[in-house]
Amino acid sequence: MQFDSDASTPEGALEDATTRATQLRAEINRANRLYYIEDAPELDDAEWDARMQELLALEEAHPELKTPDSPTQRVGAPPSPGFDEVVHPVPMLSLGNVFDEDGFRAWYKRALDFLELESAPMVCELKIDGLALAITYRVGVMERAATRGDGERGEDVTANVRTIRSVPLKLEGPPEEIPPVVELRGEVFLPNSKFSELNIEREAAEIPAYVNPRNAASGSLRQLDSTETAKRPLDMFFYALGYVEGAESPSSHWDTLQAINKWGGRKNEWTRKANTVEEVMAAIANAGEVRESLDYGIDGVVIKIDSLSLQSRLGFVGRDPRWAIAYKFPAEQAETTLKAIHVNVGRTGALTPWAELEPVIVGGVTVGRATLHNKDEIARKDFREGDRVVIQRAGDVIPQVVEVAAKNQRPDDSQPYEFPDACPSCGTETVQTEDEAVTRCVNGACPAQFERLLEHFASRGALDIEGLGERVSQDLPRLGFVSNIADVYRLHERREDLLELEKMGETRVDNLLKAIEASRSQPLSKLLFALGIPGIGSESAEWLSRRFHSLTGVKDATEEELLAIDGIGPIVASTLTDYFSVEQNRQLVDDLIELGVNPIDDTPEPSADHPANGVTFVVTGRLETMSRSEAQNRIKSLGGKATGSVTKKTNYLVAGAEAGSKLEKAQRLDVRVINESMFIAFMEYGEVPVRPETDS
């Protein structure tokens, strides 16, 4: 259903708009999580863009529908567990999209009208299909590399980025020409020529192949063992400066790219200047022509206003900069026959339908299967077995069924597809919350999802059981050693049987059993996250742990009690209660407790009387007596909020050494700035001392 943003809105239509906006937010948030966290994209770029544009139009027409958690207010998704969190000093925001010349002309006109100018030079860059990265150099030496994550917070992947040969470990040039601190931003990718080789190696090792080069790049960059990343032929193009400290920035984006290249950062040689719309469109046409000859994927062209002072004047609107836009290429399409509809069950129990197709060539690749997204999408577009359908490769990689072909002719006995009400693997009745498009099996012992769940359970961000990786997580269930999570803690009874397994000698078996035993001492929040409950990430697991203190407490929590937790919304609350309404899941908790896996969170509740309760802090710069993470944890323990960006709603900026741009912004916004000793006094005694010291 599409809504006319210019139409008047009677009460009934507003109700329809509210329902549609809620559905769009759920679908986009799910797509973001799958794309950025699980590396299992469900929507192609065109489908995602269509949903986002519709939601933007709805919220523009009905400002009352805009919510703080709307995907229009944020970028991407939160960082996945397993890596330290990095707060970006300057947010890594995304770009708005246009799809034709009219859309681009409208964007350019808005920018010029805002600036009250007749023209503004631009720079055109290929939009690389990779993973955005920010690398900080201090005194010319690489200090930290972080993924974009949700734009505010990313993952620290420094050790892995050091293995990428096109990334300089030390910037080149005379020291006086290199800023004391500078952040370079760019895109990590896997060359197309290396993608097939990597998948051949994975298949030979009986490891699932990557879906596309972008997923391969993401998976390679986020290996917990950097020696594995070093084996992957990753590459990188740099396209911007995040921030500069102690030196003047170049005056234009073009000069910025030249400076980065001079320092040893690789820039894309295709990049070109443009002074008019016609020159931009010629550049886009050229990009389309050379696309097939490139050794990396592109899905469009990024156009930026060249002058950095004009960029600063233009600023941002919502999540997008006014000074840049992405011109997206259309996806290639073809027609074929939908032979059969199948359903897969994923780690979180999501039932994902896919189409078995009569093989057809799309964009030079033979496609025999494609995603159908979810139950609602099948019903909305009325896909049926035997239909003639249109398919496209999402992002030129992931095949998806778009629609029923215009000339489709159905036989008289054609029937609508009936989505299974029970899990095709274990037979458990499926659930679908009102605000979520995905249908789930909530049986934690479901065989189809258990192998991936077991690997997640043992991952570093969860219970950190070394030795229980991907291969072992597949072998143990298939060979009958474990059928649910509790069985992991019974493996010591089968040591002799484990010794018989291939590549599992005495040392490896004993180390695995020791790691399992050590995992008993992990905190409750880690265990809750490890269980793989849909919607429960590492942060929400901490909230549950502090509120309910034990596995039993969480298991027996009511939906009302869950909704009372700041940060837990109706979708997560409903999903959690659905999970624990399944007898197998309640039994799993009882079994874990009986086996001695029963961590208790005795962290005291934040004092409602402490002045930090409900107060918003931003911590920046280098602190002497604690890390920034420790300071943020201290704030949270007292009921305060630790955020990554300075806004008018920020109460205090805690400024350490070399505080940088956040300090300047706090001063502009008249946010109270305190130093480390004042912060400690506030945490300990409940009040900020009156200076004699300065506030910075």
For residue 616, the one-letter residue type is T
Q: CA–CA separation, 56 vs 54, rounded Å?
A: 5
Residue bearing the bigger pLDDT, 89 or 121: 121
pLDDT band, residue 628 (cuts 50/70/90): confident
CATH of the domain at 502: 1.10.150.20
Residues 473-482: contacts with CB under 8 Å, at least 24 apart: 475/501, 477/447, 477/450, 477/451, 478/451, 482/454
In degrees and rounded to multiples of 5, residue 620 shows phi and psi of -140, 160
For residue 205 the two structure tokens come to 């090792």
Dmax (CA) for the chain in angstroms is 87
Is 673 within 8 Å of 617 (Cβ atoms)?
A: no
**Number of domains making up the chain:** 5
Burial label, 124 (beta-carbon count in 10 A; 0-12, 13-18, 19+): buried
Q: CA–CA separation, 209 vs 204, rounded Å?
A: 10
CATH of the domain at 182: 3.30.470.30
Mean pLDDT estimate for the chain: 84
Amino acid 294: pLDDT: 92
Q: Which of 46, 73, 100 is the last residue of a domain?
A: 73
Based on the residue annotation, tell me whether 127 is a catalytic residue of this protein: yes
Our CA dihedral for 104, 147, 460, 430, rounded to 10 degrees, sits at -10
In degrees and rounded to multiples of 5, residue 471 shows phi and psi of -65, -45
Do 319 and 341 fall within a single domain?
A: no
Do 169 and 238 fall within a single domain?
A: yes
Side-chain-side CA neighbours of 371 within 13 Å: the count stands at 18
Do 174 and 201 fall within a single domain?
A: yes
Residue bearing the bigger pLDDT, 328 or 437: 328
State pLDDT tens for residues 500-547. Answer: 888 788 898 999 999 999 999 899 999 999 998 877 887 788 889 888
Amino acid 516: pLDDT: 94
Q: CA–CA separation, 542 vs 42, rounded Å?
A: 28
Instruction: Give the range among 9-18, 111-120, 134-143 with minimum mean pLDDT.
Output: 9-18
Do 150 and 197 fall within a single domain?
A: yes
State pLDDT tens for residues 597-623. Answer: 999 987 666 666 788 888 899 998 888
Is 178 within 8 Å of 263 (Cβ atoms)?
A: yes
CATH of the domain at 60: 1.10.287.610
Q: Among 516, 542, 543, which residue's Cα sits nearest to residue 597?
A: 516
Q: CA–CA separation, 425 vs 432, rounded Å?
A: 17
Residue bearing the bigger pLDDT, 514 or 695: 514
Q: Does a structural domain hold residue 491?
A: yes
State pLDDT tens for residues 336-383. Answer: 999 999 998 877 788 889 999 998 877 656 788 888 888 888 999 999
Do 304 and 339 fall within a single domain?
A: no
pLDDT band, residue 212 (cuts 50/70/90): confident
- Active-site position among 109, 127, 262, 649: 127
Q: What's the domain range around 43? A: 11-73
Q: Among 501, 566, 498, 572, which residue's Cα sits nearest to residue 536?
A: 572
Q: CA–CA separation, 246 vs 526, rounded Å?
A: 41
Mean pLDDT for the stretch of residues 416-425: 92
Q: Does a structural domain hold residue 629?
A: yes
Report the Cα–Cα distance between both ends of the chain, in Å, rounded: 53
Is 400 within 8 Å of 371 (Cβ atoms)?
A: yes
Do 520 and 631 fall within a single domain?
A: no
Whether 403 has a pLDDT exceeding 90, the answer reads: yes
Whether 327 has a pLDDT exceeding 80, the answer reads: yes
For residue 262 the two structure tokens come to 């001079």
Put simply, whether the predicted model's pTM sits higher than 0.85 gets the answer no
Q: Hey, how many other C-beta atoms are within 10 angstroms of the C-beta on 423?
A: 23
